[in-house]
Structure 1
């Protein structure tokens, strides 16, 4: 796929990209990257107001479609409105639900986390299949917690680990459709907004000091990885780390 002359990403001119969970953070950055590369971009989310605000920030023409990925009826209506698909990106999440010490982890929260991510990704993929280009791609957004040993993250590790484990068999079963995932580490997004500003800054500083790259991630870092997976027709069944070296055994 050729590079776009006005963008660091491959050209996606004329292709339909749907970013599920595109109203903020990584999803919004991915939508911006694809739109800058000429794609026909649709962003979805549960709040029309947030989608409209994201569309304004993106700065390129995008279409906003309200959709709840935990509702079968809402997903069906969304894809009916979207039509054909080339490269959907599934950046779905129930937020920080399921984060916390294992002894205090409520079963209801863990089930909510699975519903909002694993089951939502599966339901959206199943609904998208009839509209997907045969040799297109699907990119999941998971998290490096799946393969890290961070105290207090067992719930999130279980959810993301389950989704990442499904990538290779899905790629084999659904070929020539390509199935991949980007697995971000700590990225400076609103996902962390539940922490007081000072605590968040201190946490980010501590993470940056421990990472080989010396900083936390940005949504644009992850968007570049998503664009790579969508644009590289020889990559499938891959979980691509975009975590600044968080899962490396560096001794740091």
Structure 2
């Protein structure tokens, strides 16, 4: 088998960046797409073996342009996220929730559609969702809706796109820039409280979840599956 080619959309930080690094460590040629010029410039310094592209996953034309430079793609990973959509349902800002759907749900679908003509016959698609789709934690109904909508598509698409594979990885609490809106002391206190309730007794690192993403992307016997990489949060929802 020759060198594989991967594209990680939303791959300039957090889980996406760690996934790109781990795929590169497996010998793949890894392309990374992101919107931030500053993060891409930092990536060129920290990870010169990764090939950066400035593109918005929600813009089909921009993703198509990136793919036209890549050619045939073996592994597509879509790690687009958004910081909106959380909060008590009675006060939930529905405009913010629409923005969350636009950024994550529509962004991921737009990227996948644009990539299909470039995906090899034995290629794979891996989406990064969130365990909020599979738990009953108060204050996460909006997040559950966004991620649940993505996860609901995995099984039918696995049949429709065969023999190409599609899976999702559903993380729980991960120490990523998603939490940067919280002051550091509040973030540390919340993580400590949450870790004490998790079966694993720890908050995941991006590298932890990236290992599951790489498995989903590369294992040719996995399709139509949502892998929970959540420290057991689905077993013990936080109070």
Tell me what 2:19 maps to. 30
Quote the offset at 1:151 in angstroms: 1.6
2:50 paired with 1:62: yes
Cα distance between partner residues in 1 of 2:4 and 2:237 = 40
SS at structure 2 position matched to 1:216:
coil
Quote the offset at 1:249 in angstroms: 5.0
Quote the offset at 1:42 in angstroms: 0.4
Tell me what 2:74 maps to. 86
SS at structure 2 position matched to 1:134:
strand
Cα distance between partner residues in 1 of 2:237 and 2:35 = 40
Q: TM-score, normalised by structure 1?
A: 0.91
Tell me what 1:7 maps to. none
Greater than 2 Å deviation, 4+ residue runs = 54-58, 249-252
**Where do residues 45-194 of structure 1 align in structure 2 (5 Å cutoff)?**
45-58=34-47, 61-94=49-82, 96-194=83-181
Unaligned runs of 5+ in 2: none
Please point out which of 236, 240, 243 is paired with 2:230.
243
Q: Determine which structure has the larger strand proportion and give its number.
A: 2
Quote the offset at 1:13 in angstroms: 6.5
69 and 206 in structure 1: CA distance in 2 versus 1, 3 angstrom threshold: same
Unaligned runs of 5+ in 1: 1-11
Offset from partner CA, 1:76-109 (integer Å, 9 cap, x none): 2222222210001000112x21111112212211
Cα distance between partner residues in 1 of 2:175 and 2:5 = 28
Q: TM-score, normalised by structure 2?
A: 0.95
Number of residues of Structure 1 aligned to a counterpart in Structure 2? 239
**Where do residues 7-26 of structure 1 align in structure 2 (5 Å cutoff)?**
14-26=3-15
SS at structure 1 position matched to 2:120:
coil
CA RMSD in angstroms, aligned pairs only: 1.7
Tell me what 1:4 maps to. none
